[in-house]
Structures are given as structure tokens and as C-alpha cells.
Amino acid sequence: MGAGARVLIPSDALHAGVARVAAEVSAAYPEGVLFVAVLKGSVWFLADLVRALTVPCQVDFLAISSYAEGTGRVRIVKDLDADIAGRDVVLVEDVVDTGLTLTYVLGELARRDPRSLEVCALLDKVARRIVPAPVRFVAFEVGDEFVLGYGLDFGERYRNLDEVVAGDLEALRADPDAHVETLFGG
């Protein structure tokens, strides 16, 4: 694969994992569920998740921006359209890493009095956790790797890969396009 990029979760395994999680969510919410997704990374996961769901659902979106990298201090730059009071809400995340972002977003949502609030993550980096984060539905646990693809980016690149790849962070910092040729055959 070259330039330090390697496939962690190939496309078929990825879609099987999403289907498994969709079955778990469907079983937990027979009356339906409101998904809240954080832009932009979780959109790819959300789109496949809802299409594999067997119960009714609605979707809404939040966008957040970090004040400073690694501090977990974020602010909402695009708020939800829906009033989530009294609703069964599932927050959809691309990857839970330190848990700091998730903790902030969960706090914001909890203040709005949903009937229930759970988290569904595509990827969980359990070993990287700084604050405990209650993730009820997880498609895959991954190690301490920098992951790309299926919504996950570096400098807005690589989101459209239909697989999850471990990237070489050092190479990417030197050149954000470092893996483009090997992953897209460019």
C-alpha cells in the first residue's frame, strides 16, 4: 500500500459491522429513534446505519469547532433543528478517542431533556480514553492508530474511502496528500 497506509477494516467487514449495529439499535428502539450526528465525519456512517435500520428514525445535525486542539473545549457552530425534549436520542459519532468531545456534546444534549440519550460510534479507541465515555453501540474497537476513510479525514482528504485505513500521521503532517496516490491510485 506504500507511504505507511494500511487497511484496518476492509469494505465488506465495515458494512457487516454497520449492519450489526443497525440491528442492535433497531432492537433497542422498536418505536423509533432520533439520530443526532456531529458533522462532518459521522455522515458516512449515519447514511449506511439508517438504511440498515428496521425501525422509523429521524436525523439531525450538529457542527462543532474546537477552541484549541486536544483540550476538548468545543463550541457549537451549527445547532440542531429539532427540539429533542422527550425524545429517544442516539448521538452518532465517527470515532471516540479521548472522549473529551463526546463528553461536551453529551452534556449539551442532556441539558435539553431528551427522554433517553445513548451513543453509537463507528470506531472506539478504548485505550486512548482520558474521560470515561458511555458508548452503548460500537461497530469496531480500534487501537491507538490514526484512522482515515469512511468519513474520517486528514485536512478534508480521504473521507470518501469505502474502508477504514490506518494512516501515517508523520507523513500526513509533512504532506496531507501523502496517501492520496496509494489509496486512490492517482
Q: Pick between residue 94 and residue 168 the one whose CB is nearest to ligand 5GP.
A: 94
Radius of gyration of the chain (CA): 16
Under the rule (CB under 6 A), what is the footprint of ligand 5GP? 41, 72, 93-102, 146-148, 152-154
Q: How far is the CB of 146 from ligand 5GP (least distance, A)?
A: 4
**149: phi > 0 → left, psi -120 to 50 → alpha, else beta; which?**
left
Q: How far is the CB of 148 from ligand 5GP (least distance, A)?
A: 6
Question: 48, 94, 97, 124: which is the annotated catalytic residue?
Answer: 97
**32: phi > 0 → left, psi -120 to 50 → alpha, else beta; which?**
left
Pull the grid cell for residue 118. Answer: 445513548
Q: 94 catalytic, yes or no?
A: no
Who's near 167: CB < 8 A, 6+ residues apart?
4, 5, 146, 147, 148, 154, 158, 178, 179
Q: Pick between residue 33 and residue 165 the one whose CB is nearest to ligand 5GP.
A: 165
Is-contact 116 99, C-beta < 8 A?
Answer: no
Q: How far is the CB of 70 from ligand 5GP (least distance, A)?
A: 8
Residues that are catalytic: 97
